[in-house]
Every structure is written in C-alpha cells, then in structure tokens.
Structure 1
Amino acid sequence: MVSILGKAERPIILVDVNETSVCKHYIKKIAMTIFKASSRINEFYQYYTKLKTIHQSIRRISTSLKWAAPISMAYSSFQSTRPEHINNLQPIVIMHGLMGSKTNWKSMGKAINAKTGRDVYTVDARNHGDSPHTPEHNYPLLAEDLLYFLQEHNISRAILMGHSMGGRAVMAAALMEPTVVEKLMVLDISPLGVSKSISALPRFMEIMLRLNVPADLNIQEARKYVDDLLKPAIVEKEIRDFILTNLIYTGEEYKWRLNIESLSRNFNPHMSAFPLCYNNKFFEGETAFVGGALSDYLRHTNEDEIQEIFPQATFHFIEGAGHWLHADKPREFLDLVLPLLDT
C-alpha cells in the first residue's frame, strides 16, 4: 500500500513493506505511477532511488515495523552432550509443512543429530504449534522468521531444511539472505507450479473453521467426533489423523492449536504459490530437492527451470513415498539425506 502525504510539489511517500511492495517490479511501478505526470526528472530519480534503498534494506526495515516484524519461533533442539561429539559443524534448522509442527520432526531430528553430530533445531512456524499467532502469513515473513531465529541463537551459517510450506520458506530465506545458508534441503515442494491436491486445502480449512466440538467430550471422543465430520471431505485417513494432531482442549473448550483463521485467509494467493517477488533472484549454494516418487509436488519436468533459480540443485526421489516422505519411508529418507548433509 502507498500513502502520499504533504503538498503536491513535495510529496511524502509512505510505503508499506509487504510481500508485494518488496518486489522491484512493484517499487518501480509505484514510483512511475506517482511521477508519470511530472516533468521533474531529477525529483523522480531521487524518490525512485529512495524506494530502491527501501527494497535493498528490506530485512532491516521489516524488523522495525511492528505489523511486519519477525516472530520468535518456538523450537526444540537436539544436541549432543558427549565431549567427543561436540564440534563446530553448522547446525541444521528444520521447518515443517502446513498444519504441521516441530513435533512432526522429533524422532527425525534426534536421528539426524545422532548420525551427523550436528545440532538440530526443529521450529514451529508462525501460526503453528507453540509459536505466536499473527494475522499475516506469507513466505517472505516465514523467511524473515527463520533469519531472525539464526540471529537470536547467534548462528552465523546453517543448513536450512524444510518440508512443503517449510520448503518454500527455506527457499525464500536463501534467496533473501544467501550468506547465512550453508546448504539448502527442500523436501517435496517446488518453487514452480502447485500440486493438484493443493486445491482441496481451502475446503479442508473451511470445514475446520466451522467445527464446534462439544466441550463435555473427552479427547478420544472429540477426535472421533471431528474425524466423522471430516470423512466426507477428506477420504484419506492419514490426512485426517494429521489434522487431528492440532485439536486441543483448553480446559473450557476444544480449539485448533494452529491459527486456522489466518491460514485460511492467507492461503490464496500468499501460500498456494511461491511469491513472484523472487523472480530474477538465485541461490548459488548447495541445494538438494528431495521428493516422494508417488507425490506430484516436485516434478521431473520442472528441474531445468528450478536450476535457473538454484543452479547447484540436485534432485532425488524416494520410491514408495508420498508427500510426507519422511514419515512414509523414514529409513530410506535418512539413507538418502544423511550423505547429502555431510558432503
């Protein structure tokens, strides 16, 4: 959003720095719109230069704006206490997918720490798990949260790993601040296109928004009650079980642990596709895309285009695994990922 204050001959331009306005394309468009009727070329150049400066220092500015500030994410850490296992290897930060949480990666986080000796942090994205709820939810903000997490924990460089929504968040972080990313591991998601199954997610969230669970039910009865209501829309039991991990009892009522209102409102267009403002950016560091062979979230046909953004990208697929590849084939997942982490 752009607000213009002051007199016409010396306007004061206020630019909200959000997912759209951070893009150079839109910044230039904003400046051209404001000054297209003006013959004062020098003044145009001065204001356009200021707007470019806003774009180039987006991380610093965004952290100073309350409505767009990064949040402190809840996390679990897996670290060795044995002296012979303590080392200076870069840690691994893992972000889950949509409607997931850090607990989805508890056993895998422990295993990766034990096998590699690296400290492992599994984080709750904003509006998920134990992290703060906010009205905004988009990939630039998720990237800001990851970069802020590194600052909070004095981590100068890290391996970023993300599944699905988390995969796009770590891609955005690498494109935004490549110097802090040692390696990038993107799990069953692509910066291009969308899965056919993603079209059903708004319907799932709409059902979740309308649910009203009787407070006198115990947790097992409440989950069965919700499961029965979800069945007509969600045939796959594993997806229903995954959603039900977010149902909690507060002592007075049943509610969703995640911020379903914000996720539903922001899903289209902010989450269903990778943001256009990362066009013409690329990350030259080591990057591995790992997909489930039975999933359509990551496609062989997109590999060349993905390598235009991530030139060092390699592609790997786990046979017999779907979208939740780390849960479907945990042993095969570790067998594939561990060598990639240590190369």
Structure 2
Amino acid sequence: MPPPRLLASALPRSVQLLSRRTYASSARVPLAFDLYEAPSGASDPKNGSIIFMHGLFGSRKNNRAISKILSRDLNRTIYAIDLRNHGDSPHDPRHDYSAMADDVAGFIEEHKLKDTTLIGHSMGAKTAMTLALKSPEMVRDFVSVDNAPIDAQIGRKFGQYVQAMKKIEDADTTKQSEADKILQDYEESLPVRQFLLTNLYRPTGEKIQKFRIPVKTLGAALDHMGDFPFKDPGQVRFEKPALFVRGTKSQYIPDEALPIIGKFFPRFELADIDAGHWVISEQPEAFRNAVVEFLKPKE
C-alpha cells in the first residue's frame, strides 16, 4: 500500500527506530523488520507488542509513520515487518498465506513475544487472520485492514502492475523517470506509481535498476492471493477480539462477507472508513482513531 501521509513532527524523541533481522528454522523465512519502541522505553506489562504487516508489493517502510504514531498513542512496541518476497526479507518460490503466517509465527517465537496484536493491510490482513485461526494462542487480538476471510478475486490492477514491472525490467531502465513513464500506461495515480516504484533500486556497481521483489514469483502467485486457506468456520474459530477496518469505497469486504466474518471471528467489530482499498494512506486519522479505540486498555 502507498506510504501513509502522516505528520510525525510532534512525536516524542523517545520513539526509537532500530533495523534488525531474525533467524528462524529452515522451513521459515527470516523476516526483516523495524522496531518502534514504546515511548516509555518499555511497554506496559499489561500490553503485548504489535506486529504490523503490509500489503502486496509493499514493505515495512509503508507503515513507518503510522507505526510511530500508534506506538506513541498506545505506549506499545511495534514491529513493522517485511513479509516474504517483499522489502528486505528473503525470496522464496512459495508465496501463500499459510507460509506467510508460519513466518510470522517463527518471528513471534524468535522474539519471545507474548499477547501479540497483529495489524495487517490487504495481504497482511489475510496473513493475520490465518495465523489467528491456525495458532490462536500466539495472538491476543488483530486488526484486519480491508480484507475478509473469503475467497475472492484480487483487483485486476495487480496483474497489470506485474506486467508493467516486467516491462520495466526488460527495458533496462537507468532512471526512476524512465520507469515511471512506462508505468503511466498501466496506472494513472501518481501516489500508486510512487508506491510501486519504491521496490525499484540500483544494485551496487550497476547502472541498470532492478526490483527488490521477485516479480515472476509474485506474478505466479496472483491467482491464489485472493483465496483464504480456511473454508469452514464450523471447524475453526478465533474467540478473541478482532477489528475489521473497511474502506467503504472498496470491494474487499462486501456486506455479504460480514456473516462469514462473524462465524470465523465471533467477537469481531467493524469500523467503516470513507476510503478505497488504501485506507491507511487515504484516511490516516480515521484509521488511527479506529485502531486506538479498539486497542486501548479497557476499564
């Protein structure tokens, strides 16, 4: 998703950012992350850490501003992670929600996190839901941003983005402006183009730009990225709190999906926000308010 347009100038200096990696078992991918420490220097012992997950073609950098602000407002430590095949995390031929959820489970185990809250947008949302259903003991609650536990086709735009990125790679572009000119044939929105081009970089000692993400791998995965690995809510449920943030101008959480959400997640709450699929960047303050209200300590 595009980077949140948030102003962080008012944040306390005590909010610190650290970049690290984790190392998990061979069956899992070690996830790159940024750590945003709670302003007090240590999270309230009653509150666990938060793991923030981006959407398809995104990275942890997209959630930098909102992570700082939520860490401040909730006094909780936040780990903004790169899911497999994104950002600085390793590439792997397998790209599905079960594998991504297992990576996050390994991350939680490696860091010995307890009472963890998951926040995920789009692809990250289905990853959060998958882990909550698969390993509910690892998850205290979660926030799903504009996605539902249903099988649905992802927007056709994503396939067009893959075509554009392949064309950019084949063109051996040396400047960002050259890549953007190609991308304009596939996407009119400048913020979305800028978001996609954050994946473009120039390897050391080379003139030709390349994409950090494995374009072919993600392109091949598109057909099942709209699927959800759990089909029968009668067999598995997550009985803890869950917040579903819906962009009212988006098609990813239709009204007919709400009963299914309720069966998988009987304690879910719904927050409607006047936005499209890119809820966090389009309506950052409304998103912040919804998340803080849901996650703030209850009296």
Shorter-chain TM-score range: 0.7 to 0.9
1:113 pairs with 56, 67, 71, which one?
Answer: 71
Shift of 1:255: 0.5
What do you get for the CA RMSD once the two structures are aligned?
Answer: 1.9
Query: Are residue 287 (structure 1) and residue 221 (structure 2) matched?
Result: no
AA paired with 1:275?
P
Query: Which residue, out of 263, 268, 274, partners 2:218?
Result: 263
**Corresponding residue for 1:226?**
179
> What is the CA-CA distance between 1:189 and the residue it aligns to?
0.7
Alpha-carbon distance between aligned partners in 1 of 2:226 and 2:192, rounded to the nearest angstrom: 18
Secondary structure of 1:332's partner?
helix
Confirm or deny that 1:334 pairs with 2:285: no
Write the distance in 2 (CA, Å) between the matches of 1:82 and 1:236: 40
Matched with 2:278 is 324
Q: 1:287–1:82: structure 2 CA closer, same or farther, 3 Å change rule?
A: closer
Between the aligned residues of both structures, percent identity stands at 29
Provide the C-alpha distance between the structure 2 equivalents of 1:114 and 1:233, rounded to a whole number of angstroms: 38
In the alignment, is the contact (CA less than 8 A) between 1:175 and 1:278 conserved in 2? no
Single out whichever of 291-300 and 96-105 deviates more from structure 2.
Answer: 291-300
Pick the aligned partner of 1:275 from 205, 229, 236.
Answer: 229
Alignment CA distance shift 1:335-1:277 (3 Å): closer
Aligned residue identity for 2:165:
M
Correspondence for 2:188: 235
Residue identity in the other structure for 1:132: P
Q: Deviations over 1:144-190 (max 9, x none)?
A: 01110000101132001100000000000001100111011100111
Match of residue 141, structure 1, among 76, 80, 99 = 99
**Which letter does structure 1 place at the counterpart of 2:187?**
I
Q: Structure 1 residues 142, 110: closer, same or farther in 2, change over 3 A?
A: same
- Tell me how far 1:133 sits from its aligned partner: 0.6
Aligned to 1:167: 125
* Structure 1 residue aligned with 2:160: 203
Q: CA separation in 2, counterparts of 1:308 and 1:140?
A: 20
Structure with higher helix content: 1
Partner Cα separation in structure 1 for residue 230 and residue 295 of structure 2: 29
State the shift of 1:132 in Å.
0.5
Matched, 1:187 2:145: yes
Structure-1 separation of matches of 2:212 and 2:55: 15
Unmatched tracts of structure 1, length 5 or more = 1-62
CA distance in structure 1 between the aligned counterparts of 2:142 and 2:150, rounded to whole angstroms? 17
- Partner AA of 1:198 in structure 2: G
Is the CA contact 1:290–1:316 (under 8 Å) kept in the aligned structure 2? yes
1:81 Cα deviation (Å)?
5.8
- Displacement, 1:80? 3.1
Distance 1:248 1:178, change over 3 A: same
How far did 1:193 drift? 4.2
Unaligned ranges ≥5, structure 2: 1-23
